[in-house]
Chains A and B, each alone.
Chain A
Amino acid sequence: MVKLFEGKVALVTGGSTGIGRATALAFAREGAKIIIVNNSNVGKGKETVSMIERAGGEAAFIKTDVSNAGEVEAMVNKTVKTYKRLDCAFNNAGVGDVMALTADLTEEEWDRTININLKGVWLCMKYEIKQMLKQGGGTIVNMSSAIGLVGLKGSPAYTASKGGVIQLTRTAALEYARLGIRVNAVCPSFIATLMNKRLLANEPELEKTIKTVLHPVGRLGEPEEVAEAVIWLCSDKASFITGHPMAVDGGYLAQ
Protein backbone atom coordinates (compact mmCIF):
# COMPACT_ATOMS: atom_id res chain seq x y z
CA MET A 1 0.00 0.00 0.00
CA VAL A 2 1.37 3.40 -0.96
CA LYS A 3 1.89 5.72 1.98
CA LEU A 4 -0.15 8.93 1.96
CA PHE A 5 2.82 11.31 1.97
CA GLU A 6 5.50 9.36 0.07
CA GLY A 7 7.99 11.81 -1.43
CA LYS A 8 6.47 14.79 0.40
CA VAL A 9 8.00 17.19 2.88
CA ALA A 10 6.11 18.32 5.98
CA LEU A 11 7.08 21.01 8.43
CA VAL A 12 5.78 20.98 12.00
CA THR A 13 6.33 23.96 14.27
CA GLY A 14 6.22 23.23 17.96
CA GLY A 15 7.26 19.72 17.00
CA SER A 16 9.17 18.91 20.18
CA THR A 17 6.34 17.62 22.32
CA GLY A 18 2.62 16.98 22.56
CA ILE A 19 0.43 17.45 19.51
CA GLY A 20 3.33 18.66 17.36
CA ARG A 21 5.41 15.59 18.09
CA ALA A 22 2.46 13.22 17.59
CA THR A 23 1.71 14.87 14.25
CA ALA A 24 5.34 14.72 13.10
CA LEU A 25 5.40 11.00 13.92
CA ALA A 26 2.11 10.43 12.08
CA PHE A 27 3.34 12.31 8.98
CA ALA A 28 6.56 10.27 9.07
CA ARG A 29 4.64 7.01 9.43
CA GLU A 30 2.89 7.96 6.18
CA GLY A 31 6.17 8.52 4.37
CA ALA A 32 6.83 12.28 4.64
CA LYS A 33 10.23 13.80 5.34
CA ILE A 34 9.86 15.98 8.39
CA ILE A 35 11.22 19.32 9.50
CA ILE A 36 10.82 19.71 13.25
CA VAL A 37 10.74 23.30 14.41
CA ASN A 38 10.97 24.53 17.95
CA ASN A 39 12.43 27.42 19.89
CA SER A 40 12.23 26.75 23.60
CA ASN A 41 12.93 23.05 23.76
CA VAL A 42 15.75 22.08 21.42
CA GLY A 43 16.53 18.86 23.31
CA LYS A 44 12.99 17.53 22.93
CA GLY A 45 12.93 18.63 19.28
CA LYS A 46 16.02 16.60 18.51
CA GLU A 47 14.46 13.71 20.42
CA THR A 48 11.47 13.83 17.99
CA VAL A 49 13.96 13.71 15.10
CA SER A 50 15.61 10.63 16.63
CA MET A 51 12.26 8.93 17.12
CA ILE A 52 11.47 9.41 13.43
CA GLU A 53 14.90 8.20 12.34
CA ARG A 54 14.68 5.13 14.56
CA ALA A 55 11.38 4.26 12.87
CA GLY A 56 13.15 4.44 9.49
CA GLY A 57 12.08 7.94 8.49
CA GLU A 58 13.91 11.15 7.63
CA ALA A 59 13.78 14.29 9.73
CA ALA A 60 15.78 17.40 10.57
CA PHE A 61 15.53 20.01 13.30
CA ILE A 62 15.48 23.79 12.80
CA LYS A 63 15.47 26.11 15.80
CA THR A 64 13.08 28.98 15.08
CA ASP A 65 11.26 31.69 16.96
CA VAL A 66 8.03 31.81 14.94
CA SER A 67 7.33 35.38 16.06
CA ASN A 68 10.49 36.60 14.32
CA ALA A 69 10.08 37.20 10.56
CA GLY A 70 13.77 36.77 9.77
CA GLU A 71 13.89 33.43 11.56
CA VAL A 72 10.71 32.17 9.89
CA GLU A 73 12.02 33.11 6.45
CA ALA A 74 15.25 31.27 7.25
CA MET A 75 13.22 28.27 8.46
CA VAL A 76 11.49 27.91 5.09
CA ASN A 77 14.76 28.50 3.22
CA LYS A 78 16.53 25.82 5.24
CA THR A 79 13.64 23.42 4.69
CA VAL A 80 13.91 23.83 0.92
CA LYS A 81 17.70 23.59 1.08
CA THR A 82 17.48 20.35 3.05
CA TYR A 83 14.63 18.54 1.31
CA LYS A 84 14.13 20.56 -1.92
CA ARG A 85 10.46 21.35 -1.32
CA LEU A 86 7.64 22.00 1.16
CA ASP A 87 4.30 20.25 0.71
CA CYS A 88 2.60 20.37 4.08
CA ALA A 89 2.88 22.64 7.07
CA PHE A 90 1.38 22.29 10.50
CA ASN A 91 1.69 25.66 12.21
CA ASN A 92 1.29 24.42 15.72
CA ALA A 93 3.79 26.34 17.87
CA GLY A 94 1.99 28.14 20.64
CA VAL A 95 2.03 29.09 24.27
CA GLY A 96 -0.67 28.62 26.88
CA ASP A 97 -2.02 31.30 29.15
CA VAL A 98 -1.13 31.98 32.68
CA MET A 99 -4.74 31.92 33.86
CA ALA A 100 -5.62 35.58 34.46
CA LEU A 101 -8.85 37.53 34.05
CA THR A 102 -9.08 40.21 31.37
CA ALA A 103 -8.60 42.95 33.96
CA ASP A 104 -5.60 41.24 35.51
CA LEU A 105 -3.65 40.13 32.45
CA THR A 106 -0.35 41.98 31.99
CA GLU A 107 0.60 43.64 28.74
CA GLU A 108 3.73 41.53 28.64
CA GLU A 109 1.70 38.31 28.78
CA TRP A 110 -0.71 39.61 26.14
CA ASP A 111 2.11 40.49 23.73
CA ARG A 112 3.89 37.19 24.23
CA THR A 113 0.77 35.11 23.60
CA ILE A 114 -0.39 37.09 20.57
CA ASN A 115 3.10 37.21 19.06
CA ILE A 116 3.70 33.49 19.20
CA ASN A 117 0.18 32.13 18.67
CA LEU A 118 -1.19 34.60 16.12
CA LYS A 119 1.61 36.59 14.51
CA GLY A 120 3.64 33.37 14.42
CA VAL A 121 0.96 31.60 12.38
CA TRP A 122 0.73 34.53 9.98
CA LEU A 123 4.50 34.68 9.51
CA CYS A 124 4.73 30.94 8.95
CA MET A 125 1.99 31.08 6.30
CA LYS A 126 3.59 34.12 4.67
CA TYR A 127 6.79 32.25 3.87
CA GLU A 128 5.33 28.77 3.46
CA ILE A 129 2.78 29.95 0.89
CA LYS A 130 5.47 31.67 -1.19
CA GLN A 131 7.31 28.37 -1.46
CA MET A 132 4.15 26.35 -2.11
CA LEU A 133 3.13 28.71 -4.91
CA LYS A 134 6.46 28.02 -6.62
CA GLN A 135 5.64 24.32 -6.53
CA GLY A 136 2.03 24.77 -7.65
CA GLY A 137 0.36 23.84 -4.37
CA GLY A 138 0.45 22.54 -0.84
CA THR A 139 -1.59 22.17 2.29
CA ILE A 140 -1.47 24.03 5.58
CA VAL A 141 -3.12 23.26 8.90
CA ASN A 142 -3.03 25.89 11.62
CA MET A 143 -3.42 25.13 15.29
CA SER A 144 -6.42 26.93 16.69
CA SER A 145 -8.51 25.66 19.60
CA ALA A 146 -12.07 24.96 20.64
CA ILE A 147 -11.60 28.14 22.66
CA GLY A 148 -10.91 29.95 19.39
CA LEU A 149 -14.69 29.63 18.90
CA VAL A 150 -16.06 30.04 22.41
CA GLY A 151 -14.77 31.97 25.42
CA LEU A 152 -12.99 30.61 28.48
CA LYS A 153 -12.83 32.53 31.74
CA GLY A 154 -9.26 33.47 32.63
CA SER A 155 -7.90 33.03 29.12
CA PRO A 156 -8.31 36.34 27.30
CA ALA A 157 -5.09 36.43 25.28
CA TYR A 158 -5.11 32.74 24.37
CA THR A 159 -8.75 32.74 23.22
CA ALA A 160 -8.20 35.95 21.23
CA SER A 161 -5.09 34.55 19.58
CA LYS A 162 -6.85 31.31 18.62
CA GLY A 163 -9.93 33.15 17.33
CA GLY A 164 -7.58 35.19 15.19
CA VAL A 165 -5.99 32.02 13.83
CA ILE A 166 -9.40 30.87 12.55
CA GLN A 167 -9.96 34.11 10.67
CA LEU A 168 -6.42 34.06 9.25
CA THR A 169 -7.08 30.50 8.12
CA ARG A 170 -10.32 31.40 6.35
CA THR A 171 -8.75 34.43 4.67
CA ALA A 172 -5.72 32.55 3.37
CA ALA A 173 -7.98 29.67 2.26
CA LEU A 174 -10.04 32.05 0.13
CA GLU A 175 -6.99 33.80 -1.29
CA TYR A 176 -5.30 30.62 -2.50
CA ALA A 177 -8.28 28.32 -3.17
CA ARG A 178 -7.73 28.44 -6.93
CA LEU A 179 -3.96 28.19 -6.69
CA GLY A 180 -3.77 24.69 -5.26
CA ILE A 181 -3.20 25.58 -1.63
CA ARG A 182 -5.67 24.40 0.99
CA VAL A 183 -5.62 26.00 4.44
CA ASN A 184 -7.53 24.58 7.40
CA ALA A 185 -7.44 24.80 11.17
CA VAL A 186 -7.88 22.23 13.92
CA CYS A 187 -9.70 23.16 17.09
CA PRO A 188 -8.84 20.75 19.88
CA SER A 189 -10.38 21.01 23.29
CA PHE A 190 -8.31 19.94 26.29
CA ILE A 191 -5.67 17.44 25.18
CA ALA A 192 -3.38 15.54 27.54
CA THR A 193 -0.22 17.42 26.54
CA LEU A 194 2.62 18.60 28.71
CA MET A 195 1.34 22.18 28.36
CA ASN A 196 -2.10 21.24 29.66
CA LYS A 197 -0.82 18.89 32.35
CA ARG A 198 1.21 21.79 33.73
CA LEU A 199 -1.81 24.09 33.55
CA LEU A 200 -4.13 21.57 35.19
CA ALA A 201 -1.67 20.79 37.96
CA ASN A 202 -2.37 24.30 39.23
CA GLU A 203 -6.07 24.24 38.36
CA PRO A 204 -7.60 21.05 39.82
CA GLU A 205 -11.09 22.54 39.60
CA LEU A 206 -10.67 23.10 35.85
CA GLU A 207 -9.68 19.46 35.33
CA LYS A 208 -12.84 18.35 37.13
CA THR A 209 -14.97 20.72 35.04
CA ILE A 210 -13.40 19.38 31.84
CA LYS A 211 -14.22 15.79 32.68
CA THR A 212 -17.71 16.40 34.01
CA VAL A 213 -18.99 19.36 32.00
CA LEU A 214 -16.83 20.66 29.17
CA HIS A 215 -16.07 17.34 27.49
CA PRO A 216 -19.23 15.32 26.81
CA VAL A 217 -17.05 12.23 26.27
CA GLY A 218 -15.80 12.56 29.85
CA ARG A 219 -12.06 12.47 29.19
CA LEU A 220 -9.21 14.58 27.81
CA GLY A 221 -8.16 13.99 24.21
CA GLU A 222 -4.86 12.39 23.26
CA PRO A 223 -2.26 14.16 21.07
CA GLU A 224 -2.50 11.30 18.54
CA GLU A 225 -6.20 11.99 18.03
CA VAL A 226 -5.43 15.54 16.92
CA ALA A 227 -2.53 14.32 14.78
CA GLU A 228 -4.89 12.04 12.83
CA ALA A 229 -7.10 15.00 11.95
CA VAL A 230 -4.13 17.11 10.87
CA ILE A 231 -2.62 14.53 8.54
CA TRP A 232 -6.02 13.69 7.09
CA LEU A 233 -6.67 17.37 6.31
CA CYS A 234 -3.23 17.56 4.66
CA SER A 235 -3.87 14.48 2.55
CA ASP A 236 -5.47 14.27 -0.89
CA LYS A 237 -8.47 12.67 0.77
CA ALA A 238 -9.49 16.13 1.93
CA SER A 239 -9.12 17.66 -1.53
CA PHE A 240 -12.30 19.75 -1.29
CA ILE A 241 -11.83 20.89 2.30
CA THR A 242 -10.41 24.36 2.77
CA GLY A 243 -11.07 27.20 5.18
CA HIS A 244 -12.57 24.75 7.64
CA PRO A 245 -12.05 24.92 11.40
CA MET A 246 -12.21 21.25 12.39
CA ALA A 247 -13.15 20.48 15.96
CA VAL A 248 -11.33 17.61 17.65
CA ASP A 249 -13.01 18.16 20.94
CA GLY A 250 -15.02 15.19 22.23
CA GLY A 251 -18.22 17.16 21.69
CA TYR A 252 -17.19 20.32 23.60
CA LEU A 253 -18.48 22.74 20.95
CA ALA A 254 -21.72 20.84 20.30
CA GLN A 255 -23.05 21.95 23.69
Chain B
Amino acid sequence: MTKQFKGKVAIVTGAGMGIGRATALMFASEGAKIVAADINIEKAQETVSMIRNAGGESLFVKTDVAKAAEVKAMVNKAIMVYGRLDCACNNAGIIGEAGSTVDCTEENWERVMDVNLKGVWLCMKYEIPEILRHNKGSIVNIASVSALVGGPGIPAYSASKGGVIQLTRTAALEFARSGIRVNAVCPSLARTPMGEGAYHAQPEVEKARLEAHPMGRMVEPEEVAQAVVWLCSDAASFVTGHIMAVDGGFLAQ
Protein backbone atom coordinates (compact mmCIF):
# COMPACT_ATOMS: atom_id res chain seq x y z
CA MET B 1 0.00 0.00 0.00
CA THR B 2 1.40 3.38 -0.98
CA LYS B 3 1.92 5.73 1.91
CA GLN B 4 -0.51 8.60 1.64
CA PHE B 5 2.08 11.39 1.95
CA LYS B 6 4.80 9.84 -0.18
CA GLY B 7 6.67 12.57 -2.06
CA LYS B 8 5.04 15.30 0.03
CA VAL B 9 6.63 17.83 2.32
CA ALA B 10 5.14 18.96 5.63
CA ILE B 11 6.17 21.73 8.02
CA VAL B 12 5.37 21.19 11.69
CA THR B 13 6.02 24.08 14.07
CA GLY B 14 6.57 23.32 17.73
CA ALA B 15 7.84 19.93 16.60
CA GLY B 16 10.06 19.42 19.63
CA MET B 17 7.44 18.07 21.99
CA GLY B 18 3.88 16.95 22.58
CA ILE B 19 1.37 17.33 19.78
CA GLY B 20 3.95 18.76 17.37
CA ARG B 21 6.29 15.83 17.80
CA ALA B 22 3.49 13.25 17.55
CA THR B 23 2.25 14.94 14.37
CA ALA B 24 5.72 15.10 12.82
CA LEU B 25 6.25 11.39 13.53
CA MET B 26 2.86 10.42 12.13
CA PHE B 27 3.30 12.46 8.94
CA ALA B 28 6.72 10.88 8.52
CA SER B 29 5.35 7.37 9.05
CA GLU B 30 2.95 8.11 6.16
CA GLY B 31 5.87 9.03 3.91
CA ALA B 32 6.15 12.83 4.21
CA LYS B 33 9.44 14.67 4.49
CA ILE B 34 9.31 16.78 7.61
CA VAL B 35 10.54 20.27 8.34
CA ALA B 36 10.64 20.31 12.14
CA ALA B 37 10.55 23.89 13.43
CA ASP B 38 10.96 24.89 17.05
CA ILE B 39 12.84 27.30 19.28
CA ASN B 40 13.96 24.36 21.41
CA ILE B 41 16.98 23.13 19.42
CA GLU B 42 17.69 20.02 21.46
CA LYS B 43 14.13 18.71 21.54
CA ALA B 44 13.45 19.39 17.87
CA GLN B 45 16.68 17.68 16.85
CA GLU B 46 15.54 14.71 18.92
CA THR B 47 12.33 14.60 16.84
CA VAL B 48 14.39 14.76 13.64
CA SER B 49 16.54 11.85 14.88
CA MET B 50 13.46 9.80 15.73
CA ILE B 51 12.16 10.30 12.18
CA ARG B 52 15.53 9.46 10.60
CA ASN B 53 15.97 6.39 12.78
CA ALA B 54 12.60 5.15 11.54
CA GLY B 55 13.82 5.56 7.96
CA GLY B 56 12.22 8.92 7.21
CA GLU B 57 13.55 12.26 6.04
CA SER B 58 13.55 15.32 8.23
CA LEU B 59 15.42 18.52 8.91
CA PHE B 60 15.40 21.01 11.75
CA VAL B 61 14.94 24.75 11.39
CA LYS B 62 15.27 26.88 14.51
CA THR B 63 12.29 29.18 14.25
CA ASP B 64 10.65 31.76 16.47
CA VAL B 65 7.24 31.86 14.79
CA ALA B 66 6.62 35.36 16.17
CA LYS B 67 9.37 36.76 13.92
CA ALA B 68 8.52 37.25 10.25
CA ALA B 69 12.10 36.89 9.05
CA GLU B 70 12.51 33.56 10.83
CA VAL B 71 9.23 32.19 9.50
CA LYS B 72 10.18 33.25 6.00
CA ALA B 73 13.55 31.54 6.42
CA MET B 74 11.79 28.38 7.67
CA VAL B 75 9.66 28.16 4.53
CA ASN B 76 12.65 29.01 2.30
CA LYS B 77 14.64 26.19 3.87
CA ALA B 78 11.82 23.73 3.17
CA ILE B 79 11.80 24.76 -0.49
CA MET B 80 15.57 24.87 -0.79
CA VAL B 81 16.07 21.37 0.62
CA TYR B 82 12.92 19.50 -0.37
CA GLY B 83 11.77 21.54 -3.36
CA ARG B 84 8.11 21.98 -2.39
CA LEU B 85 5.57 22.43 0.38
CA ASP B 86 2.32 20.47 0.62
CA CYS B 87 1.17 20.49 4.23
CA ALA B 88 1.68 22.48 7.38
CA CYS B 89 0.69 21.98 10.98
CA ASN B 90 1.00 25.37 12.67
CA ASN B 91 1.21 24.11 16.20
CA ALA B 92 3.81 26.20 18.04
CA GLY B 93 2.19 27.81 21.04
CA ILE B 94 2.58 28.73 24.67
CA ILE B 95 0.12 28.75 27.54
CA GLY B 96 1.61 31.84 29.18
CA GLU B 97 1.44 32.70 32.85
CA ALA B 98 -1.62 31.70 34.89
CA GLY B 99 -3.58 34.72 36.07
CA SER B 100 -7.05 36.19 35.72
CA THR B 101 -8.01 38.91 33.26
CA VAL B 102 -7.15 41.45 35.97
CA ASP B 103 -3.84 39.85 36.90
CA CYS B 104 -2.59 39.10 33.38
CA THR B 105 0.40 41.36 32.67
CA GLU B 106 0.80 43.27 29.42
CA GLU B 107 4.08 41.47 28.88
CA ASN B 108 2.39 38.06 29.19
CA TRP B 109 -0.45 39.20 26.91
CA GLU B 110 1.92 40.32 24.18
CA ARG B 111 4.12 37.27 24.35
CA VAL B 112 1.17 34.85 24.13
CA MET B 113 -0.43 36.78 21.26
CA ASP B 114 2.87 37.00 19.36
CA VAL B 115 3.52 33.27 19.47
CA ASN B 116 0.02 31.79 19.34
CA LEU B 117 -1.82 34.17 17.04
CA LYS B 118 0.65 36.30 15.10
CA GLY B 119 2.79 33.17 14.75
CA VAL B 120 0.00 31.25 13.03
CA TRP B 121 -0.71 34.19 10.74
CA LEU B 122 2.97 34.57 9.79
CA CYS B 123 3.27 30.85 9.12
CA MET B 124 0.25 30.91 6.80
CA LYS B 125 1.49 34.12 5.14
CA TYR B 126 4.67 32.41 3.99
CA GLU B 127 3.37 28.85 3.58
CA ILE B 128 0.41 29.68 1.34
CA PRO B 129 2.38 31.21 -1.59
CA GLU B 130 4.54 28.08 -1.77
CA ILE B 131 1.52 25.76 -1.71
CA LEU B 132 -0.12 27.93 -4.40
CA ARG B 133 2.70 27.07 -6.79
CA HIS B 134 1.12 23.67 -7.35
CA ASN B 135 -2.43 24.58 -6.27
CA LYS B 136 -2.91 21.72 -3.85
CA GLY B 137 -2.18 21.54 -0.18
CA SER B 138 -3.55 21.64 3.28
CA ILE B 139 -2.90 23.56 6.48
CA VAL B 140 -4.02 22.65 9.98
CA ASN B 141 -3.72 25.20 12.76
CA ILE B 142 -3.77 24.04 16.35
CA ALA B 143 -6.35 25.94 18.39
CA SER B 144 -7.90 24.65 21.63
CA VAL B 145 -11.25 24.00 23.26
CA SER B 146 -10.40 27.24 25.10
CA ALA B 147 -10.89 28.98 21.76
CA LEU B 148 -14.60 28.20 21.90
CA VAL B 149 -15.39 28.36 25.61
CA GLY B 150 -13.79 30.58 28.22
CA GLY B 151 -10.43 29.77 29.77
CA PRO B 152 -10.54 31.04 33.35
CA GLY B 153 -7.03 32.03 34.43
CA ILE B 154 -5.63 32.00 30.87
CA PRO B 155 -7.26 35.04 29.20
CA ALA B 156 -4.48 35.69 26.70
CA TYR B 157 -4.23 32.02 25.68
CA SER B 158 -7.96 31.75 25.27
CA ALA B 159 -8.19 34.95 23.21
CA SER B 160 -5.23 33.96 21.03
CA LYS B 161 -6.78 30.57 20.24
CA GLY B 162 -10.15 32.17 19.47
CA GLY B 163 -8.27 34.32 17.00
CA VAL B 164 -6.68 31.25 15.43
CA ILE B 165 -10.14 29.95 14.61
CA GLN B 166 -11.14 33.12 12.80
CA LEU B 167 -7.83 33.27 10.95
CA THR B 168 -8.42 29.67 9.88
CA ARG B 169 -11.92 30.39 8.56
CA THR B 170 -10.75 33.51 6.75
CA ALA B 171 -7.81 31.82 5.03
CA ALA B 172 -10.05 28.84 4.16
CA LEU B 173 -12.50 31.14 2.37
CA GLU B 174 -9.77 33.11 0.62
CA PHE B 175 -8.05 30.06 -0.89
CA ALA B 176 -10.97 27.61 -1.25
CA ARG B 177 -10.88 27.87 -5.04
CA SER B 178 -7.10 27.70 -5.21
CA GLY B 179 -6.83 24.15 -3.90
CA ILE B 180 -5.70 25.00 -0.38
CA ARG B 181 -7.71 23.67 2.52
CA VAL B 182 -7.28 25.29 5.93
CA ASN B 183 -8.70 23.74 9.09
CA ALA B 184 -8.18 23.96 12.84
CA VAL B 185 -8.06 21.31 15.54
CA CYS B 186 -9.25 22.02 19.07
CA PRO B 187 -7.82 19.60 21.61
CA SER B 188 -8.88 19.58 25.23
CA LEU B 189 -6.28 19.20 27.98
CA ALA B 190 -3.48 17.12 26.47
CA ARG B 191 -0.99 14.71 28.01
CA THR B 192 1.93 16.88 26.90
CA PRO B 193 4.49 18.97 28.76
CA MET B 194 2.24 22.01 28.19
CA GLY B 195 -1.01 20.30 29.17
CA GLU B 196 0.46 18.66 32.21
CA GLY B 197 2.05 21.96 33.23
CA ALA B 198 -1.15 23.94 32.75
CA TYR B 199 -2.45 23.21 36.21
CA HIS B 200 0.91 22.62 37.82
CA ALA B 201 0.24 24.89 40.75
CA GLN B 202 -3.40 23.79 41.07
CA PRO B 203 -3.68 19.99 41.03
CA GLU B 204 -7.18 20.22 42.52
CA VAL B 205 -8.31 22.30 39.52
CA GLU B 206 -6.92 19.71 37.12
CA LYS B 207 -8.62 16.88 39.02
CA ALA B 208 -11.96 18.69 39.03
CA ARG B 209 -11.61 19.47 35.35
CA LEU B 210 -10.95 15.86 34.43
CA GLU B 211 -13.81 14.65 36.60
CA ALA B 212 -16.12 17.00 34.74
CA HIS B 213 -14.74 15.77 31.43
CA PRO B 214 -17.10 13.40 29.59
CA MET B 215 -14.35 10.83 28.95
CA GLY B 216 -12.58 11.61 32.19
CA ARG B 217 -9.07 11.67 30.77
CA MET B 218 -6.53 13.80 28.96
CA VAL B 219 -6.13 13.55 25.20
CA GLU B 220 -3.00 11.74 24.02
CA PRO B 221 -0.82 13.70 21.55
CA GLU B 222 -1.18 10.86 19.03
CA GLU B 223 -4.96 11.28 19.05
CA VAL B 224 -4.55 14.91 18.02
CA ALA B 225 -1.94 13.93 15.43
CA GLN B 226 -4.42 11.49 13.84
CA ALA B 227 -6.88 14.33 13.30
CA VAL B 228 -4.21 16.62 11.81
CA VAL B 229 -2.94 13.96 9.43
CA TRP B 230 -6.46 13.00 8.34
CA LEU B 231 -7.41 16.63 7.69
CA CYS B 232 -4.26 17.03 5.55
CA SER B 233 -5.00 13.88 3.57
CA ASP B 234 -7.02 13.58 0.37
CA ALA B 235 -9.72 11.78 2.36
CA ALA B 236 -10.71 15.22 3.70
CA SER B 237 -10.94 16.80 0.24
CA PHE B 238 -14.25 18.58 0.95
CA VAL B 239 -13.36 19.71 4.48
CA THR B 240 -12.17 23.29 4.80
CA GLY B 241 -12.66 26.06 7.34
CA HIS B 242 -13.71 23.40 9.83
CA ILE B 243 -13.02 23.61 13.53
CA MET B 244 -12.52 20.02 14.60
CA ALA B 245 -12.79 19.18 18.27
CA VAL B 246 -10.55 16.40 19.58
CA ASP B 247 -11.90 16.74 23.07
CA GLY B 248 -13.61 13.59 24.29
CA GLY B 249 -16.97 15.37 24.26
CA PHE B 250 -15.86 18.42 26.29
CA LEU B 251 -17.52 20.93 23.97
CA ALA B 252 -20.71 18.88 23.67
CA GLN B 253 -21.60 19.77 27.25
Contact = CB atoms under 8 A, between A and B. Distances in A.
Interface of A: 1, 169-170, 173-174, 177-178, 188, 216-218, 221-222, 225-226, 228-229, 232, 237-244, 246-251, 253-255
A246 B244 contact: yes
Nearest to B247: A240
A241 B245 contact: yes
B247 A1 contact: no
Contacts of B216: 177-178
Interface in B211-244: 214-216, 219-220, 223-224, 226-227, 230, 235-242, 244
A173 B239 contact: no
6 contacts: A177-B248, A240-B219, A241-B227, A249-B242, A254-B240, A254-B241
A254 B230 contact: no
Interface of B: 1, 168-169, 172-173, 176-177, 214-216, 219-220, 223-224, 226-227, 230, 235-242, 244-249, 251-253
Contacts of B244: 241, 244, 246
Secondary structure call for the B interface: mixed
A177 B173 contact: no
Contacts of B251: 243-244
Contact of B177 (A174, A217, A229, A243): A217
Given A170-B252, A242-B249, 8 more contacts: A177-B248, A217-B238, A217-B240, A222-B238, A225-B238, A241-B248, A242-B215, A247-B242
4 nearest interchain CB pairs? A254-B241, A243-B252, A216-B176, A177-B214
Given A216-B173, A216-B241, A255-B173, A237 B246 contact: no
